[in-house]
């Protein structure tokens, strides 16, 4: 650890918001991952900007995470600064048909606020295990809905260190992508436009989607959600199942028997186990079908 850099981080944040050698298994939904050299928890967009400015001045790598729901961190950890935009940047406000939220707000929390305000259009996101920032970057979607259907504006931090507000027409939202991802911007807050609806109908739809998730997805095990992107013209889970890989294991990692599109941590998995399983599944499916599946899970560190 570079003590001078560590002290400089603590000048930007309060001391309890900067940790050294922090195990990332504590901050990812896979519950695996070695230690990050530095782990920071900013409380404002200005603190995010100042941490990144400091990293660039000292030539130290950095990585942004939300609640760690789409991330596989190496067992060897991460040589740099993890910046977690999560609970300390999760404010949500509702005004009329508009919901404004910071990037660290959970999609489930935003959906709950929309429900209480009688606003419809965000039900699809109620069960997605991620934050608003990540959802904007990857245009998260489920059950026929996508962020592009409801986003109005997203405020980002550019690579030049400037705050920029982008209208939905400027976001270039596509399947699991956006201009935010392509240009390396960092999502900080967003404005969502919804419609007035019946609270009973909104809750019924959310309950229906929750039931689908509980019965069809392995929510009882640590995972990163859907492991592979949907190949054009196919469903990843069906390709995996047809390749005879339901329940296939490498160490403590397993293709879920409940839903083959999920790789789960049975409790003792390492990041290496999970990576080896993902690679083997992709290889076997390709040999059998000619279709190469691309992981949706982001990998960070040395594998």
Q: Structure tokens of 21?
A: 């050698």
Q: What is the pLDDT of residues 249-281, one digit of tens each?
A: 999 999 999 999 999 999 999 999 999 999 999
Q: Where are the alpha helices (DSSP H) in the chain?
A: 3-12, 45-58, 107-116, 132-138, 179-183, 199-216, 236-242, 271-289
Residue 38 neighbours by CB under 8 Å, 6+ apart: 1, 5, 6, 9, 18, 19, 20, 22, 60, 80, 81, 82
The whole-number average pLDDT for the span 268-295 is: 96
Q: Which of 49, 176, 189, 223 is catalytic?
A: 176
Mean pLDDT of the chain: 95
Cβ–Cβ contacts within 10 Å for residue 208, how many?
11
Q: Which of 79, 193, 296, 299 is catalytic?
A: 296
Does this model's pTM top 0.95? My answer is: no
How far is Cα 290 from Cα 168, in angstroms, rounded to an integer? 36
Q: Which of 69, 74, 178, 226 is catalytic?
A: 226
How far is Cα 135 from Cα 301, in angstroms, rounded to an integer? 22
Strand order, beta sheet including 253-255: 223-226, 262-265, 253-255, 249-250
Give yes or no: 296 in active site. Answer: yes
Q: Structure tokens of 186?
A: 């960092």
Query: For position 225, what pLDDT does the model report?
Result: 87
Asked whether the predicted pLDDT for residue 146 surpasses 90, the reply is yes
Give yes or no: 257 in active site. Answer: no
Give yes or no: 226 in active site. Answer: yes
Q: What is the pLDDT of residues 192-241, one digit of tens each?
A: 999 999 999 999 999 999 898 889 899 999 999 889 998 989 999 999 99
């Amino acid at each position: 650890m570079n003590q001078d850099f560590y002290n400089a981080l603590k000048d930007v944040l309060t001391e309890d918001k900067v940790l050294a050698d922090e195990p990332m298994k504590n901050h990812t939904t896979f519950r695996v991952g070695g230690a990050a050299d530095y782990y920071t928890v900013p409380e404002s967009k200005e603190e995010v900007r100042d941490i990144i400015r400091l990293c660039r001045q000292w030539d130290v790598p950095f990585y942004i995470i939300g609640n760690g729901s789409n991330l596989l961190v190496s067992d060897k950890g991460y040589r740099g600064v993890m910046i977690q935009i999560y609970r300390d940047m999760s404010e949500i406000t509702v005004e009329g048909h508009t919901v404004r939220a910071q990037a660290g707000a959970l999609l489930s929390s935003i959906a709950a606020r929309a429900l209480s305000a009688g606003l419809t259009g965000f039900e699809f996101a109620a069960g997605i295990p991620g934050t608003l920032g990540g959802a904007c970057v990857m245009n998260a979607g489920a059950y026929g809905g996508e962020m592009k259907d409801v986003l109005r504006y997203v405020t980002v931090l550019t690579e030049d260190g400037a705050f920029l507000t982008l209208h939905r027409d400027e976001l270039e939202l596509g399947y699991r992508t956006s201009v935010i991802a392509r240009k390396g911007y960092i999502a900080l807050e967003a404005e969502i436009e919804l419609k007035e609806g019946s609270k009973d109908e909104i809750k019924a739809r959310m309950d229906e989607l929750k039931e689908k998730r509980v019965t069809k997805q392995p929510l009882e095990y640590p995972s990163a959600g859907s492991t592979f992107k949907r190949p054009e013209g196919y469903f990843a889970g069906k390709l995996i199942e047809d390749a005879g890989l339901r329940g296939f294991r490498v160490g403590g990692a397993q293709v879920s028997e409940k839903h083959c599109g999920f790789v789960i941590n049975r409790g003792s998995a390492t990041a290496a186990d999970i990576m080896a399983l993902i690679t083997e599944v992709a290889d076997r499916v390709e040999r059998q079908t000619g279709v190469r599946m691309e992981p949706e899970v982001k990998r960070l560190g040395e594998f």
